Amino acid sequence: MRERKDSEPAITTGAPVGVVGAGTMGIGVAQCFAEAGYPVVVVDPDPAALGSGPARLRAGVRMAGLLRRPSSPSAGAEAGAGTGAAAGTRTGTTTGTTKGVGGGRPAPSSPFPEERVVWSEKLSDLAPALFVVECAREQVPIKEEILRQLDQVCGPDTVFASCTSCIPITRLGSFTGRPDRVIGTHFMNPAPLKDAVEVIRAPRTSEQTVRRTVDLLAELGKRALVVRDAPGFVTNRVLMLTLNEAATVLGEGTADAETVDRIFQDCFGHPMGPLRTADLIGLDTVLDSLEVLREFTGDERFRPCALLARHVAEGSVGRKSGRGFYEYPKQRQHPEHHLVSRGGASHG
């Protein structure tokens, strides 16, 4: 274990933050930080992802500006309270800012937040960062390699926050010499338009790390909902079973995709049905998440159903491929206005 300081530097808006992964979630998280005034370094070894990153970020900034609703006088000023899942854990704790452009988000200090983002293929460029969000694919070996390298590159005070949707934070922390500095920050998709983040505290995550993370999210205008570590946490432990079962009833012919989704929307009041939600997440990501849950829980309920596995094998993985449980013409592969503006149901 590395030697720690009695007091750690605050993660102010002048301090650089890092994002590993230039996929949909990585771009969204980078946008959140950049809009709040933080310099951001996005690292991805894929030249194609880096090459398209700036354009995708600009598109995200434009889209968010169109879809955000005006702030009410009390927007973002609420602080949740309650009994935490563990001693010292706070749930729904953060307070947002009232000067935001919508949903409690802080107003950008420049009309061009994308100018605060630097793109790189090298993890070594994250050395100055005090907070790094890992947004790599949901596979343990990939995350292990990244975290081991980050542990060597970054200073001892740097917090590693994983955007994992299912892998226990305890497991991820074990890949570093600083498990007390490893925490889960499960942003939902689209990250810039979601007001809350599921924060996962492992048994060895320090109170100081939790506090720094909660405070930093508050600077982004987001509420932290803190939960204990477990496979899938709260969100995906419940959601992935729902998505898998929705695909199962579709595959069995109980109802067509539109009817399955309309039942959830019209009967339960969900803004988006489970099959469109799965398409928006990406069926490959859903499949990976189910396999991780099955591995870490030993529960066969998480075995991906045949229809889901077949879609992924065929490359029909949802919106990003143009086809999943639904077909998406090219001009509609971006989040639809009415879905996102109502809060959506999408997920990281």
Residues carrying an active site annotation? 186
Both ends of the chain: CA-CA distance in Å?
A: 31
Q: Work out the angle at residue 22's Cα, subtended by the Cα atoms of residues 20 and 23, and round it to the nearest 5 degrees.
A: 115
Distance CA 94, CA 225 (A): 8
Structural tokens at position 188 = 């939902």
- Residue 144, H or E segment: helix 140-153
Q: Are strands 196-201 and 182-186 parallel, antiparallel or unpaired?
A: antiparallel
Residue type (1 letter), 100:
G
- Are 199 and 205 spatial neighbours (Cβ–Cβ below 8 Å)? no
- Are 318 and 279 spatial neighbours (Cβ–Cβ below 8 Å)? yes
User: What does 219-281 look like in DSSP terms, one character per residue?
Assistant: HTT-EEEEEE--TTTTHHHHHHHHHHHHHHHHHTTSS-HHHHHHIIIIIT--SS-HHHHHHHH
Nearest CA-CA partner of 20 in 108, 120, 165: 120
Nearest CA-CA partner of 17 in 99, 112, 135, 128: 128
Structural tokens at position 272 = 């988006």
Residue 129 φ/ψ, nearest 5 degrees? -70, 140
Neighbours of 332 (CB within 10 A): 12
255: Cβ–Cβ under 8 A, 6 or more apart, which residues? 249, 263
* Locus of tokens 């143009």: 322
CA 236 to chain centre: 12
